[in-house]
A and B are shown apart, each in its own frame.
Chain A
Amino acid sequence: MKNIVLEAKNLSFEYPGDEDTKPVSALRDVSFAIEEGSFTAILGHNGSGKSTLAKLLCMIYQPTAGQILLNGRDMTAEGITEKDIMDARREIGMVFQNPDNQIVATVVEEDVAFGCENLGIPSAEIRRRVDEALEIVGMRKYARHAPHKLSGGQKQRVAIAGTIAMKRKIIIFDESTAMLDPLGRKEVMDTILRLNKEDGITVLIITHYMNEAAMADRVIVMNEGKILTDGTPGEVFSQPEPLWEVGLDVPQTTEILYKLKKDGYDVPLDVFEPEQCARIIAQALERGRS
């Protein structure tokens, strides 16, 4: 059993209402535990509470009820100060949806350095970490560029570099690919996968793209503030009915395989790679119905 680094226990959250509106419940009794070095996708459509969940995990919002445990420490307990939260943010970072609204500096490398500067790390060490981080996300040659001239995917990679330069162990991506074109989306997903597989960083992605979720080790599907299903992509997507019921899709590969299986072909459901899927379908069609 691997180390649990981040845990949500019976988490609930309400957006406070004002005079005319009632409080809106965004999360109800959500519990899960994230293992060290794992890659989890939190899936759900708009209003399912997935972004609220991300903000709670980053301690931007305070939960109305329930606990968040970071490395076993209850971050919602009484007596947790601003400083404790700042210390926790050395461990856990977030990359947001809009690349423009999270870049602070007018030069790429200065922006990557921003977080480290806030931590009070000595200049020479910051320099080393910034170069390393830019290398990891493949943006070294853009170090002296102005961020507003980069593409969306490149900007997101700069934001990722800023968070890995702080040597964070857990990174939450809050729909970080939603505003990008397909090419930028691929750039960012490749970077995220590499961080997870090669550098052992624990990754949580919040997304509504099925094929991104299929890349994860584990998928948590959210609907109306609750966890609908939780399991490996194979487990979750091989039961497409509950997902369809709440208006979510499954990856196209799964959809085809599922329909074939229903028609009596003998095919597995947990294949997400298009080429491989095509081969399986071809073989199945040759064999004919069982």
Chain B
Amino acid sequence: MKSDIAFGQYCEGDSLLHRLDPRAKIVLAVLYIVVIFLAESVASFGLLLLFSAGLVAVSGISPRIVLGSMKALTFIIIFTAVINIFWMQGETLLFALGPVEVYLEGIVNAVLIVLRIMLLLICTSMFLTYTTTPIALTDGIEQLLAPLNRIHVPVHEFAMMMSIALRFIPTLIEETEKIMNAQKARGADFTEGNLLQRAKALIPILVPLFVSAFRRADELATAMECRCYTGGAGRTRMSVLRYDWKDFAAIGTVVLLGAAVVVLNILVPGIGLAM
């Protein structure tokens, strides 16, 4: 079914990572990003690489899926690598092609920066998108940001909007398919012509889609009102998020990892990022 695509990012599972509290996972992702930026030497990158491989193993998600997600970044990876290799000056000149000089430091730098980008992607997808349902993520964000309510940030309303959007993605995809089929049945052609013509062919799809989305929104608002919805104030939740020892253990582990990275940076400096 096509409508599954919207939730395709989430991989069903029951691993330790899946069972962590979504709030803890958001905190973990942020902490881990900090740790990645702390790493400077080859040794500390090695440690992070090992740890990330460990994460993938624990999550039970096939490494092929994780590596596959890197494809989207190919351009950025190649671009940063090239810039670093050719523009970076160092001490050990490897070879020179006319005005272009390539240094060993440049190559190391390129490799480490590419690694950093890949680690960032792996960590956010391991903690957040692959192991947390969008709805759990929304709940997590809502509760983490709850203190902002005091300075009148409508946190609950934003979270509600997010979850309704998620709820209606499959419905709207289905609707788009229906409208496309209806237009095709009347002879519309979405595959031929130049870019402008194809864009124009989309108008008869978008207009009815928007009209129907507004009608849906109106009906949904009435239905919500009929179910006594009056916004976030005075609301309770059926499933309350609770931290347990696993969440604290996971956060502790990442903090320790950060300390180890700092220590490795100092003890085994070697050649590293020149930043």
Contact = CB atoms under 8 A, between A and B. Distances in A.
Interface in A73-132: 86, 89-90, 93-94, 96, 98, 100-107, 109-110, 113-123, 126-127, 130
B226 A89 contact: yes
Interface stretch (B13-21, B165-173, B188-196, B266-274): B165-173
A110 B134 CA distance: 14
Contacts of B239: 110, 123
Contact of B228 (A96, A110, A166): A166
Contacts of A60: 222, 225-226
Interface in B187-224: 216, 219-220, 222-224
A77 to B, nearest CB: 20
Contacts of A107: 135
A130 B224 CA distance: 17
B228 A102 contact: no
Contacts of B224: 104, 114
B167 A89 contact: no
A51 to B, nearest CB: 12
B interface: dominant SS = helix
A117 B235 contact: yes
Interface residues of A, number: 39
A107 B237 CA distance: 14
Given A109-B238, A148-B170, A148-B171, A104 B228 contact: no
A126 B240 CA distance: 11
A144 to B, nearest CB: 11
B171 A100 contact: yes
B138 to A, nearest CB: 9
B220 A114 contact: no
Contacts of A153: none
A120 B235 CA distance: 5
A100 B166 contact: no
Interface string B219-247: 11011111111100011111110000000
A123 B236 contact: yes
B236 A126 contact: yes
Contacts of B238: 109-110, 113, 116-117, 123, 126-127, 130
A118 B167 contact: no
Interface string A146-158: 1110000000000
A58 interface: yes
Interface string B158-188: 0000011011001100100000000000000
A90 B228 contact: yes
A107 B239 CA distance: 12
B62 interface: no
A112 B262 CA distance: 49
Nearest to B235: A117
A93 B226 CA distance: 7
A106 B227 contact: no
B149 interface: no
Nearest to B171: A100
A233 interface: no
A115 B164 contact: no
B253 interface: no
Contact of B227 (A120, A146, A147, A163): A163
A127 B174 CA distance: 32
Interface of A: 58, 60, 86, 89-90, 93-94, 96, 98, 100-107, 109-110, 113-123, 126-127, 130, 146-148, 162-163, 166
19 contacts: A60-B225, A89-B227, A100-B216, A101-B220, A102-B220, A103-B167, A104-B227, A109-B238, A110-B238, A114-B227, A116-B236, A117-B236, A118-B228, A122-B236, A127-B238, A148-B167, A162-B227, A163-B227, A166-B228
